[in-house]
Amino acid sequence: MSLMLAEILEQPAVLQRTIDAEREKMTRLGDFLRQKDIDLIVIAARGSSDNAALFGRYLLEMTTGIPVSLSAPSVYTLYNAKLRLNRALVIGVSQSGEGVDINLVLERAKDAGAFTVGITNEAESTMARLADETLLIHAGREKSVAATKTYTGQMLHFYMLAAAIGDKRIDYYRIPEFTEKALELRPAVEEMVQRYAFMENCVVVGRGVNYGNSYELALKLMETCYVVAERFSSADFFHGPLAIVERRFPVILFGPAGVTEAGNIDLLKRLKELHADCLSITNSSEIASLSARSLTLPSDIDEILTPIPFVAPAQMFAAYLSVAKGLDPDAPRSLTKVTKTI
């Protein structure tokens, strides 16, 4: 078993451990932030952490009503811009806590009057020392180069933060249970990847809270399987990019039951007319029936809670596909675990 797959299978335990260890701290942080006059949230991240941040943007805007911006670190590191952030919450996200540019964003944000939070897996990291408050992912050391358990741990912290400072009830404590259920799809995933062993290009589609997952699966396919994977919102895919689809072109869709369902169904019907090869990760019976293949999760998972359970089979798909292609998912060429960008 690859390290990547082993760490994917650890996720229910990691998620539960993180909830148990961080819940009281999150409650205190939520009480504190509710008393501050915050009118902007800025999230700084790179790589998989940036995909978690994209999810966090959707979730926090939906649940708090506060505008959320994804930071462009180069504004600070290359252009030396000075932003006015005295009424902002600035969140840095990094599994290692050693991303130089992300830490510089936090440092500059503090100087500009922002309250800063770090989300990291490393309690002794530079990020943990810099941030006003640190939210820890209790994942243990992540040995695989491809992030899996730290990605979902970062997403979990956005759920916990949204529940602490927003007005919407979020039953995030059910996510470990739903993720455990998702991992039961492992035999189906292992068998399914054989059909994609010669895949060189594909499109990954997601919308709303699963939009970040489309970026994350595309990244996993690129770094572990060397597949050229584009990623789109299902809404944007109708505008122009649909032209690349031809017979048997692979399209992977994150398609939960809920508010994005109707749009995804419209897209699948069009893709069916074009004879595309559609694989859906879904808990909608109609989306499953319209797809050439599907990985189907329980229908009772509320759409807002689907991103972590839905990404687990997607991660397994990348790990098993890498092996089916004769590659090593634990040793992607040209990559290292910690990337220090300026």
- The pLDDT assigned to 83 comes to 85
Instruction: Determine phi and psi for 80, rounding to 5 degrees.
Output: 55, 40
Q: Is residue 337 part of a domain?
A: no
Q: Is residue 165 part of a domain?
A: yes
Helix axes 307-324, 211-225, angle to 10 degrees: 20
Q: How confident is the model at residue 319 (pLDDT cuts 50, 70, 90)?
A: very high
CB 206 within 8 A of CB 337: no
**pTM more than 0.85:** yes
**Residues 98, 202: one domain?**
no
**Residues 15, 108: one domain?**
yes
Q: Is residue 335 part of a domain?
A: no
- Supply the range of the domain harboring residue 139: 3-170
Whether the pLDDT of residue 3 is over 70: the answer is yes
Whether the pLDDT of residue 105 is over 60: the answer is yes
Q: Is residue 152 part of a domain?
A: yes
Q: Is residue 75 part of a domain?
A: yes
Rounded-to-10 torsion of CA 264, 267, 269, 275: -130
**Residues 43, 166: one domain?**
yes
- The pLDDT assigned to 49 comes to 97
**Residues 39, 125: one domain?**
yes
Handedness of CA 11, 104, 132, 81 (dihedral sign): negative
- Paired strand residues for 294: 280
- Mean pLDDT rounded to a whole number for the chain: 94
| Token reading at 209 | 């809270």
By three-state DSSP, how is residue 229 classified? strand
- Final residue belonging to a domain, choices 170, 204, 236: 170
Q: Is residue 132 part of a domain?
A: yes
Question: How many domains in the chain?
Answer: 2
- Final residue belonging to a domain, choices 117, 143, 170: 170
| Token reading at 210 | 């699963």
- The pLDDT assigned to 9 comes to 98
Secondary element (H or E) of residue 280:
strand 277-282
Whether the pLDDT of residue 338 is over 60: the answer is no
**Residues 105, 187: one domain?**
no
Whether the pLDDT of residue 341 is over 70: the answer is no
Within 13 Å of residue 81, how many CA atoms lie on the same side as its CB? 12
**Residues 162, 251: one domain?**
no
Report the C-alpha gap between 261 and 80 in whole angstroms: 43
**Residues 166, 209: one domain?**
no
Q: Which tens digits make up the pLDDT trace of 38-80?
A: 999 999 999 999 999 999 999 999 999 999 999 888 887 777 7
- Final residue belonging to a domain, choices 150, 170, 190: 170
CB atoms within 10 A of CB 303: 18
Q: How confident is the model at residue 220 (pLDDT cuts 50, 70, 90)?
A: very high
Q: Which tens digits make up the pLDDT trace of 299-309?
A: 999 999 999 99
**Residues 212, 81: one domain?**
no
**Residues 180, 49: one domain?**
no
| Token reading at 67 | 């505008």
Q: Is residue 340 part of a domain?
A: no
CATH number of the domain to which 316 belongs:
3.40.50.10490
**Residues 164, 184: one domain?**
no
**Residues 109, 32: one domain?**
yes
CB 137 within 8 A of CB 122: no
**Residues 144, 190: one domain?**
no
Q: Which tens digits make up the pLDDT trace of 168-204?
A: 999 999 999 999 999 999 999 999 999 999 999 999 9
Q: Is residue 37 part of a domain?
A: yes
Within 242-306, residue ranges assigned H as helices are 261-273, 285-290
More confident residue, 127 or 338: 127
